[in-house]
Amino acid sequence: MSALKKIALVTGAGSGIGKAAALALAKDGYTVILAGRREERLIAVAEEIRSKDGNYPSAVTAVVDVGDSEAVKGLFADIQERFGRLDLLFNNAGRGNPPGAFTDWDAGQWREVVDTNLNGMFFCLQQAFRMMRDQHPQGGRIINNGSLAAYSPRPNSIAYTATKHAVTGLTKAASLDGRAFSIAVGQIDVGNAMSELASRMAAGVPQANGELKAEPLIDASLVGQAVVYMASLPLEANILFHTIMATNMPFVGRG
């Protein structure tokens, strides 16, 4: 890191992978903007960052629902006014599948997942592109949080899986469009990192063959380290897709 602090925005920063990434980026020298819907959780993460040793920069919080395009626009206007630039967006906010079989969902349950996991990711990416395109020096990095579901579904995961497949398309297209503006866009696909969303894995989740089986998990801090590594590269290099997963989780192979 240079003497000039770099600015990072982490969405969904109040818990799980978002929190782990925010802590890791702060330790690496970034000033971190913690965005999310639950203010008390964001404040707790900010206080944890500030409680570390003197090498940690400050953190600021921003309560926002990424599915609200106007709220996202306001968030980026505030970042522009306060910091004048954005070096990194960790586009992380997301939600899991609605409960029950998809045949029983109503339209609102489907839209809630799409609004957060896809629309929200697009709204943040769009605003980050505009800022990174127009700032001097030009450019920046965007890391989208995909999932192993972007490649292979779990039983009864149609909304989550569909949106994460869409995120992969978003990443590829944005990576191509970012070339003209020195904007590097990549994706991290996480398998079984300990978080509220994934905690049920330890108790047992349905497998493709109908069995209910517990799965191994990794500490979310390892995902934070991976985000820092992706962010550490110069803008002429990009990790387009990066998979981090529990070594023994049932993803590669059959069963």
- Verify cis geometry, omega within 30 degrees of 0, for the bond prior to 99: no
Distance CA 224, CA 185 (A): 17
Distance CA 238, CA 241 (A): 9
Which residue type occupies 91? N
Catalytic sites, residue numbers: 160
Radius of gyration (C-alpha) of the chain in whole angstroms: 18
Long-range contacts of 65-69 (CB under 8 A, 24+ apart): 65/37, 65/120, 66/11, 66/12, 66/35, 66/93, 66/116, 66/119, 66/120, 66/121, 66/123, 66/124, 67/115, 67/116, 67/119, 67/120, 67/123, 69/119, 69/123
Tokens of 174: 């944005």
Find, among 124, 140, 152, 162, the residue nearest to 7 by Cα: 140
3-state secondary structure of 11: strand
Distance CA 60, CA 62 (A): 7
Instruction: Tell me the sheet residues that pair with 8.
Output: 32, 88
